[in-house]
Structure 1
């Protein structure tokens, strides 16, 4: 096993684990910087509790696709699925925070540990897929030029 292969495996494994743990942990918490007399609405938004909820299964499904692609011997498929899963995970996390006027970085409910872990896992998967893609494109270009 070469070092780049080991590095890619660590990136993918770390991304899969952090997304999995991040989807389990709460994504939202009450803003600790609110004044003591601030009125906090009594709402239960998705992602406020520990455990898997509706959107968590979609993210875990994407992680499952990355695992399934790793079984395949097709390097191009592995890198594209990993890259797209990383991008999709990060975009979903950004979209999640912008979905309500109560959620954001300076609002009533701010991101919790689960949200940050999921974003970090998505970035790791994006980096792993991005690192593999140039070598896959280069090897397919070499193979196609040898066939011509």
Structure 2
């Protein structure tokens, strides 16, 4: 049931946009004969449509809107829009949050380096001979 309502709403929106396009074309005197006929059919379909068409195409209302538009300056409109918008700079993350990935990478690198050095010391030939350290010498003299 909701899908039907949604579809009819979409259809009504499409129809409203089409009528707005036709009225705009009528005001600018750019309608083809087929489009003019389509607009005439819509206007004559109901009294509400006729009243709305007359209101939207009334020269006095159009002139008042045009005068209001010309009276406002683009600079003032831009300032009004800018003043209503709130631009704030996002907060900067703390020093710790910015450098912790680098600190973690450095610690990992140092840990791997220490592990590698220890593995090299265990595999060196001087450590394999009787478990003696490299600085000790065996004395065979009596």
TM range (shorter): under 0.3
TM-score, normalization: structure 1?
0.23
> Which one has more relative contact order, counting CA pairs under 8 Å at least 6 apart?
1
Higher percent of residues as helix: 2
Higher percent of residues as strand: 1
Which of the pair has more CA radius of gyration? 2
TM-score, normalization: structure 2?
0.23
